[in-house]
Structure 1
């Protein structure tokens, strides 16, 4: 009598592990956007 093997449980990717490789691009980009917005607000206010 042959027994069917149960499939191994799939490893779900961790959310933090999936975005770690993006952080070196994300932080400077966010900083640049914030600096641009602050400069834009400063120019428009004054």
Structure 2
């Protein structure tokens, strides 16, 4: 009656990597770049409106 092996068609792969885990090592480069672009955009908006 009971089936000891799950037969759901899902095979867990040890080589499967999460997208968040692949981005984490790049954070020291991505965050300052995005911050610099955001500050540049906000400064240009402030100068344009002044």
| TM superposition score normalised by structure 1 | 0.71
Structure 1 residue 34 and structure 2 residue 33: aligned?
A: no
More helix by share: 1
Number of equivalences: 38
Runs of 4+ in structure 1 off by over 3 angstroms are none
Calculate the TM-score normalised by the size of structure 2: 0.66
Q: Which runs of 5+ in 1 are unaligned?
A: 1-8
Aligned CA RMSD, in angstroms, stands at 1.3
